[in-house]
């Protein structure tokens, strides 16, 4: 079943009618060739309104698609914890893969970080252009994975700002090659509770510097290992999110 995000003002909860406008109208009518009576899923895409509406197409017009609400569910697709991925910005298009897979795995927000060993350098204009593209990728991934809202991808932040953001979270996890054994990692992960906000810090291609790990530890971070193999920066975050998804997922 196809998923679309619409503006909250186009959801008339009192009358049970939703309006789809914009480019999705052409996609529904001409690309998908959907007809009256077919069902689809709609959400406002807002983080504070993770409601999924099961709707039936009532009428397809040239500029809008009118749908009737059949049922709704709140938080049906979302994890019970908010996961924030602080990803040191990798080279090339690897960050785009992190965004796509992170959204599929249930991430709440992705924050690209400029750490000491980050190779990528973006001026303000390029960063703004990249951020627009990153959020478009997040939207596409949210549609594909039937998320109830669209996770945000922020603009790149400096190390100090990343630490300030992380201090407001319940837990912070930092995979690091010099961390304690895997038993410690299992203990930390098993201690996470539904409802907690969790920050995950992933280093760049050259890894975190020791003073960065120290700063994170001062913020209360749990420094963990992901095993004996060295994972690429674009793999490490996906690995942690996969484990947390299975750890925190609950039955509807």
Q: What is the pLDDT along the chain (252 residues), one digit of tens a residue?
A: 899 999 999 999 999 999 999 999 999 999 999 999 999 999 987 777 778 899 999 999 999 999 999 998 887 778 999 999 999 999 989 999 999 999 999 999 999 999 999 998 888 999 999 999 999 999 999 999 999 889 999 999 999 999 999 999 999 999 998 787 899 999 999 999 889 999 999 999 989 999 999 999 999 999 999 988 889 999 999 999 999 999 898 876
User: Of 188, 4, 244, 205, which is closest to residue 89 (Cα–Cα)?
Assistant: 205
CA distance 190 to 38: 43
pLDDT at 252: 63
Tokens 């697709």 locate to: 77
Q: Which helix H or strand E contains 158, and what residues bound it?
A: strand 157-158
SS3 203: coil
CA distance 60 to 194: 41
CA distance 243 to 4: 28
**Is the distance from CB of 73 to CB of 35 less than 8 angstroms?**
no
DSSP assignment, residue 234?
A: H
CA distance 134 to 156: 11
CA distance 58 to 36: 5
Backbone angles phi, psi at 163, to 5 degrees: -65, -40
Output the six-digit token pair for 173: 């996890």
**Is the distance from CB of 29 to CB of 60 less than 8 angstroms?**
yes
DSSP assignment, residue 221?
A: P
User: Of 101, 96, 38, which is closest to residue 65 (Cα–Cα)?
Assistant: 38
Tokens 């190779």 locate to: 119
Output the six-digit token pair for 177: 């090659």
């Amino acid at each position: 079943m196809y998923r679309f995000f619409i503006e909250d003002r186009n959801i008339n909860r009192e009358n049970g009618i939703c309006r789809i406008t914009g480019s999705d109208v052409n996609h529904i009518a001409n690309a998908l060739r959907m007809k009256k009576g077919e069902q689809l899923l709609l959400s406002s895409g807002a983080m504070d309104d993770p409601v999924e509406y099961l709707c039936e197409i009532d009428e397809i017009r040239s500029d809008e698609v009118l749908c009737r609400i059949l049922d709704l569910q709140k938080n049906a697709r979302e994890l019970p914890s908010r996961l924030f991925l602080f990803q040191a910005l990798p080279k090339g298009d690897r960050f785009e893969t992190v965004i796509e897979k992170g959204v599929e795995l249930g991430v709440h927000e992705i924050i690209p970080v400029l750490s000491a060993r980050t190779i990528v350098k973006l001026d303000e204009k390029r960063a703004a252009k990249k951020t627009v593209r990153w959020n478009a990728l997040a939207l596409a991934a949210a549609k594909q994975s039937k998320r109830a809202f669209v996770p945000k991808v922020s603009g790149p932040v400096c190390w100090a700002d990343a630490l300030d953001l992380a201090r407001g979270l319940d837990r912070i996890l930092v995979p690091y090659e010099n961390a304690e054994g895997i038993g410690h990692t299992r203990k930390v992960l098993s201690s996470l509770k539904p409802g907690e906000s969790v920050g995950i810090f992933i280093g760049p291609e050259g890894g975190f510097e020791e003073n960065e790990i120290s700063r994170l530890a001062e913020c209360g971070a749990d420094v963990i290992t992901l095993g004996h193999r060295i994972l690429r920066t674009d793999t490490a975050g996906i690995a942690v999110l996969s484990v947390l998804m299975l750890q925190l997922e609950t039955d509807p």
